[in-house]
Structure 1
């Protein structure tokens, strides 16, 4: 269930019997021909599908993350690391104050990694509360499935091209893009990153059959659900 489909008294009733919650972490950034909200769409959807059978509430995805390297692409939004960590901390503080004690952060964007370190620090200040940081797309079983299907996979490539991240009327190239030189890209300013990447795909095919994508998705949902089920201590 999602918090958006609940009222406050229903949440209070839930907390009488369970103390778990899920917070998806997303981003608003370029994904070549895919939606700018890919990371938010995927983190919230995998969290919602994973939590549904368990009856654990899923909060709306945090739509902005840390992505300064994409700022030359219109529509991309980046928070400062300090701002982002303060935001996540405030959310955790809010949930803790209401009685949530087991919180799963389902992350959909690599730039949000500092939130994982924050979670460890925050737990030390809140004994009796557990926070897990789960990169759903790079979790062991999910990433193994991606590699099994096609090892040439990266940002804005086929591995993020799900039916729910595509845009109507946008036709994806049928070519396989060479992988970007990551060492070179990491030292570039946003304008240089755009010049190097072009459309924004880091490398690989732009699309694969839906059967491949759904096979990955099934693994990702099951793996995320297992993290939510525990153990928590």
Structure 2
């Protein structure tokens, strides 16, 4: 159920039958030859498809996240951890006040993952609520299929290159980029990160067949749906 196509009367009726809600978390940042909004696009699309299958309410996604390492690339929006934690806490509280008790966060950006600590702090104040933070791209079944296709796959590589994250008229390089040293990246300021990673791909080919990508997407969708239905503590 798309919240943007719902009025409050309809939502009130929904909450009498179900207390689950989906909220996508994304980021706006460099993704090499792919859309700046790749993380937001993927999390939002997955939320919409899974929500439709499960008939669960879906809120608009957060397009911005924590991405300090990409600040030297034009287009990147970076929220400070305190800002992001407060924003998410306010959203969780608002959802709780509306009547939701099982909140499913589909996260499309690894840089947002540290917010798990803030989620626990929020849960300590709302013990009857449950929150799942689902990093869809690194979930076991999805990641296993990615690794089946290629071990060298990371940020802005083929594993994020779906038909809906591509830029029309843009043809990515055909070669395979060697894997970068991610541990080294954590030591560098944004200017040095850009110098080290160049176009933004962390390693891997830039594109695979649409058949391979559709298989990954179907696996991610099914894995997400299972957690939405059965993953509550």
Q: Name the TM-score class by shorter chain.
A: over 0.9
Tell me the residue number matched to 1:46. Answer: 46
Q: CA deviation at 1:183?
A: 2.2
Tell me the residue number matched to 1:228. Answer: 228
Tell me the residue number matched to 1:113. Answer: 113
Tell me the residue number matched to 1:9. Answer: 9
Map 1:13-28 → 2, pairs under 5 A: 13-28=13-28
Q: Does 1:163 align with 2:163?
A: yes
Tell me the residue number matched to 2:29. Answer: 29
Q: CA deviation at 1:173?
A: 0.5
Distance in 1 between the 2:177 and 2:71 partners?
Answer: 22
Per-residue CA deviations over 1:150-180 (Å, capped at 9, x if unaligned) read 1110000000000000000111100000111
Tell me the residue number matched to 2:193. Answer: 193
Count of residues in correspondence between the two structures:
233
Tell me the residue number matched to 1:214. Answer: 214
Map 1:147-162 → 2, pairs under 5 A: 147-162=147-162
Distance in 1 between the 2:228 and 2:121 partners?
Answer: 20
Gaps of 5+ in 2: none
Is 109-118 or 26-35 further displaced after alignment? Answer: 109-118
Q: Contact 1:35–1:166 at 8 Å: present in 2 too? A: yes
Distance in 1 between the 2:59 and 2:41 partners?
Answer: 13
Q: CA deviation at 1:94?
A: 0.1
* Normalised TM-score (structure 1): 0.98
Tell me the residue number matched to 1:137. Answer: 137
Distance in 2 between the 1:33 and 1:60 partners?
Answer: 25
Q: CA deviation at 1:14?
A: 0.6
* Normalised TM-score (structure 2): 0.98
State the secondary structure of the residue aligned to 2:155: coil
Distance in 1 between the 2:4 and 2:158 partners?
Answer: 30
Distance in 2 between the 1:228 and 1:140 partners?
Answer: 15
Tell me the residue number matched to 2:81. Answer: 81
Distance in 1 between the 2:151 and 2:203 partners?
Answer: 11
Q: Contact 1:51–1:228 at 8 Å: present in 2 too? A: no
- Taking only aligned residues, the RMSD between alpha carbons, in angstroms, comes to 0.9
Gaps of 5+ in 1: none
State the secondary structure of the residue aligned to 2:180: coil
